[in-house]
Structure 1
Amino acid sequence: MAYPDDLLVEDEQVVVHRHPHWKMLVVPVVVLLLVVGVASFLAAVVSAQSWALWAWLGLAVAGLALVGRFTVFPVLRWRTTHFVVTDRRVLVREGVLTRQGMDIPLRRISSVQIRQSLLERLLGAGTLVVEADSDESLEFDDVPGVRQVHAVLYNEVGQ
């Protein structure tokens, strides 16, 4: 999904656009598989009972609720979270029903750092730490290709 161009100012160009790393989707997919597996097993167990229709209905409602809460919502949240570097600023937008965001002009950035655990290094993800003119540092977790993003952002800040 391309970043909405209507949020950019005139002549502003997107340099990097990322969603959080796909590792955030591992737990939702595991939950989906577990819910489907357990619900299918339980549906087969109660199929010989006279009240099987009610049990199936209950399993369907419970399964849909679990999948909605622990799979659909996290996937939508992942899909609607954007980390964008333009030639003028760093933007972060997130939210499904309500949106929140932050913009940092490149001229206010004083340093850019990355942090990666061993697993994050293997997956190519990491945390990007941006320090602005204020003494506060901002951390962006689960940035895919964090080394490339760091290099691009460092290059953009240095111009």
Structure 2
Amino acid sequence: MAYPQKLLNRGEHINLDLHPHWVVFVKPGSVVIVLIAVAIWAQQLSDGWLKTGVSRVLLVAIGLGLVNLVSVFLRWSRTYFVVTSQRVIFREGVLARRGIEIPLERVNNVNFAQSILERMLGAGDLLIESASEEGQQLFGDIRNPEQVQNIIHEAIHE
């Protein structure tokens, strides 16, 4: 789902529109997969109250894991990192919303950081320093942060 055009200023165009990196799904997805594997293993137990109890607990845990995975997906789908011709925009939240806007003319510095694993996956953090009250904004789980850094620099010098 793309960033809504109706929220742009007159004459403003989008240079980059990103959702967080897919790595945000790894932890909740892994939990569900492990719980399903344990549930399959638990079916090998001999019949009786232990098998029934373990199965019920695992079904509840799998259900909660799936609810968590869906909530992560909803947050992911409603989180935007956008670079336009005038500003950097960050919006997140499903019910309660939070937004950050940094005009390009106020951006002083753009830095990125990636661990070895993040580098292999193409994810990382972006730190934007600006001439504002907050000064620094850290954006996590950005796809290809080095490329995003370059796009921001290009937008500043347009």
Which of 83, 89, 92 is equivalent to 2:90?
92
State the percentage of identical aligned residues: 37
Contact 1:82/1:92 (<8 A) preserved? yes
Structure 1, 114-123 or 24-33: larger mean CA deviation? 114-123
Q: Judging changes above 3 Å, is the alpha-carbon distance between structure 1 residues 143 and 50 closer, same or farther for their aligned structure 2 residues?
A: closer
Contact 1:19/1:79 (<8 A) preserved? yes
Q: Judging changes above 3 Å, is the alpha-carbon distance between structure 1 residues 58 and 124 closer, same or farther for their aligned structure 2 residues?
A: closer
For structure 1, the residue ranges without an aligned partner over 5 or more in a row are none
1:132 partnered with 2:130: yes
Q: TM-score, normalised by structure 2?
A: 0.85
Which residue matches 1:24?
A: 24
The 5-angstrom pairing of residues 42-81 of structure 1 reads 42-43=42-43, 45=45, 48-49=47-48, 59-69=58-68, 71-81=69-79
RMSD: 2.3
Q: Judging changes above 3 Å, is the alpha-carbon distance between structure 1 residues 114 and 57 closer, same or farther for their aligned structure 2 residues?
A: closer
Which residue matches 1:155?
A: 154
For structure 2, the residue ranges without an aligned partner over 5 or more in a row are none
Which residue matches 1:39?
A: 39
1:115 partnered with 2:113: yes
Contact 1:83/1:93 (<8 A) preserved? yes
Contact 1:125/1:145 (<8 A) preserved? yes
CA distance in 1, matches of 2:54, 2:12: 57
Contact 2:45/2:51 (<8 A) preserved? no
Poorly superposed stretches of 4+, deviation over 6 Å: 50-55
Q: Judging changes above 3 Å, is the alpha-carbon distance between structure 1 residues 50 and 151 closer, same or farther for their aligned structure 2 residues?
A: closer
After superposition, what is the alpha-carbon deviation per residue over 1:59-94, rounded to whole angstroms, capped at 9, x for unaligned? Answer: 43332123213x222222222211010111111011
